[in-house]
């Protein structure tokens, strides 16, 4: 295993320990690596001096917000929303590369995203899936900063079914409903806003389904392969994970206090900005999902005013009144 790949594997495990609030330090993490090699033979042991360089790599190469806690004699993340953007590795770590690129599609900018995804598509046909074991999945799930717990065994089954184009039999728990048995073709796996989802078709149909993986209570291969549907992949890239209707003509006025971050996001999100004399911005959004816009406006705590359309402005006002009534 190349030295860089060995370090990346250590970093994945180190981030997992930080997210678990285990307060690792150079001595304790070095011991953990030795124990891991003893039982799992991954070849990633490192002395405390090397581990110290790993901490520096997280700080300076990946901008990890790490601080030392004297009480617990170890390090912790000061910002739990920080994301570890794991780089793409060589062919022996292709499954981790998939996690770092295709599954977390918002990590890489174009044109690098397309180049990496094309390389992964080409290599997938010859890669051995057995490397991506349950222990590694557990570390990666923790390192990704997920907002809901996922059973690593279930994730592995869903991941392998997606990778090998195999239909799944799952037990799924929808909100406010009893668990139900379903057959599902997992065409896509994606990390979206802190949660893992799989998107595909109800088995034997063209009915699109999106399942949150943390709500899958059981998953098993059904023994039925399915062909890849490239149209579903293209539609998802173009329109997003969910099939919500989008509203057009959204115009908002944003206070000067949030103008800087909106200007930072303008090129990526491709909205139009008119700067006002008082420093405020008039922002013309691209077609967007209604409930996501409402949550954004409310989340800015009065710094955003919806100007158009009137129907959206009324819904924001109604939602704000509900918040007021419940919290006054």
Q: What are phi and psi of 63, to 5 degrees?
A: 55, 40
Answer whether 267's CB lies under 8 Å from 273's CB: no
Query: Could you tell me the pLDDT band of residue 265, with boundaries at 50, 70 and 90?
Result: confident
Judge whether 218 lies within some domain.
Answer: yes
Judge whether 86 lies within some domain.
Answer: no
Pairwise CA distance, residues 189 & 219, whole Å: 15
Question: Does one domain contain both 62 and 180?
Answer: no
Judge whether 184 lies within some domain.
Answer: yes
For residue 92, the model assigns a pLDDT of 39
Judge whether 72 lies within some domain.
Answer: yes
Question: Does one domain contain both 110 and 197?
Answer: yes
Q: How many residues does the chain have?
A: 328
- Mean local confidence (pLDDT), 113-128: 49
CA 89 to chain centre: 18
Question: Does one domain contain both 140 and 96?
Answer: yes
pLDDT tens column, 49-97: 999 999 999 998 888 899 999 999 999 988 877 777 665 443 334 444 4
Instruction: Find all residues with CB under 8 Å of 31, minimum gap 6, and list them.
Output: none
Least confident of 9-13, 105-109, 150-154: 105-109
For residue 87, the model assigns a pLDDT of 55
Judge whether 271 lies within some domain.
Answer: yes
255: domain CATH number is 3.30.70
Last residue of a domain, one of 198, 216, 239: 239
Query: Could you tell me the pLDDT band of residue 17, with boundaries at 50, 70 and 90?
Result: confident
Last residue of a domain, one of 19, 54, 77: 77
- Mean local confidence (pLDDT), 9-18: 84
Tokens matching residue 133: 């074991």
Query: Could you tell me the pLDDT band of residue 143, with boundaries at 50, 70 and 90?
Result: low
Question: Does one domain contain both 145 and 191?
Answer: yes
Helix 290-299 and helix 310-327, axial crossing angle in degrees, nearest 10: 50
Proportion of the chain above pLDDT 90, given as a percent: 42
Judge whether 172 lies within some domain.
Answer: yes
Judge whether 206 lies within some domain.
Answer: yes
Question: Mind spelling out the 3-state secondary structure of 236-249?
Answer: HHHHCCCCCCEECC
Q: What is the CA radius of gyration of the chain?
A: 23
Q: Read out DSSP for 147-216?
A: SS---HHHHHHHHHHHHHTEEEEEEE--TTS--EEEEEEEEEEEEETTEEEEEEEETTS--EEEEEGGGE
- The residue with greater pLDDT, 114 or 62, is 62
Last residue of a domain, one of 77, 107, 141: 77
Question: Does one domain contain both 70 and 97?
Answer: no
pLDDT tens column, 26-35: 999 999 888 8
Question: Does one domain contain both 136 and 59?
Answer: no
The count of structural domains within the chain is: 3
Tokens matching residue 175: 């909100």
For residue 42, the model assigns a pLDDT of 62
Question: Does one domain contain both 119 and 204?
Answer: yes
Query: Could you tell me the pLDDT band of residue 19, with boundaries at 50, 70 and 90?
Result: confident
In the predicted model, what is the mean pLDDT of the chain? 80
Question: Does one domain contain both 284 and 225?
Answer: no
Tell me: cis bond preceding 309? Omega within 30 of 0 counts: yes
Query: Could you tell me the pLDDT band of residue 284, with boundaries at 50, 70 and 90?
Result: very high
Does an H or E element contain 26, and which?
helix 26-40
The structure tokens 């704000």 sit at 320
pLDDT tens column, 302-313: 999 999 999 999
Question: Does one domain contain both 22 and 120?
Answer: no
Judge whether 63 lies within some domain.
Answer: yes
- The residue with greater pLDDT, 16 or 105, is 16
Tokens matching residue 314: 């009324």
Question: Does one domain contain both 38 and 125?
Answer: no
Domain of 122 in residue numbering reads as 91-239
pLDDT tens column, 173-199: 998 889 999 999 999 887 777 788 899
Question: Does one domain contain both 270 and 307?
Answer: yes
Question: Does one domain contain both 17 and 117?
Answer: no
For residue 81, the model assigns a pLDDT of 73
For residue 52, the model assigns a pLDDT of 94
- Mean local confidence (pLDDT), 129-152: 61
């Amino acid at each position: 295993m190349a030295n860089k790949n060995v370090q990346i594997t250590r970093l994945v495990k180190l981030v997992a320990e930080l997210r678990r609030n285990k307060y690792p330090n150079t001595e304790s993490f070095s011991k953990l690596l030795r124990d891991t090699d003893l039982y799992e033979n991954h070849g990633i042991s490192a002395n405390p001096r090397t581990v110290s360089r790993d901490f520096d790599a997280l700080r300076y190469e990946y901008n990890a917000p790490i601080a030392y806690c004297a009480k617990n004699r170890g390090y912790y993340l000061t910002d739990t929303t920080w994301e570890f953007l794991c780089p793409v590795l060589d062919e022996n770590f292709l499954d981790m590369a998939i996690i770092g690129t295709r599954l977390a599609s918002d990590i890489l900018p174009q044109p690098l995203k397309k180049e990496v995804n094309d390389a992964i598509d080409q290599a997938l046909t010859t890669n051995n899936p057995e490397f991506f074991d349950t222990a590694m999945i557990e570390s990666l799930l923790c390192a990704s900063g997920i907002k809901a717990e996922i059973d690593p065994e279930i994730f592995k089954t869903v991941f392998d079914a997606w990778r090998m184009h195999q239909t799944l039999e799952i037990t799924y728990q929808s909100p406010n409903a009893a668990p139900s048995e379903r057959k599902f073709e997992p065409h896509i796996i994606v990390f979206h806003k802190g949660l893992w989802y799989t998107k595909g078709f109800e088995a034997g149909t063209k009915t699109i389904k999106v399942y949150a993986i943390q709500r899958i209570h059981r998953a098993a291969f059904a023994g039925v392969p399915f062909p890849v549907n490239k149209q579903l992949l293209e539609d998802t890239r173009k329109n997003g994970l969910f099939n919500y209707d989008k509203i057009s003509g959204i115009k908002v006025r944003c206070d000067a206090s949030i103008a800087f971050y909106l200007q930072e996001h303008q090129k990526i999100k491709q909205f139009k900005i008119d700067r006002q004399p008082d420093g405020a911005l008039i922002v013309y959004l691209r077609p967007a999902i209604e409930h996501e816009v409402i949550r954004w406006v409310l989340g800015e705590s009065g710094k955003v005013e919806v100007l158009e359309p009137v129907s959206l402005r009324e819904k924001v006002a109604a939602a704000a009144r509900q918040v007021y009534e419940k919290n006054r």
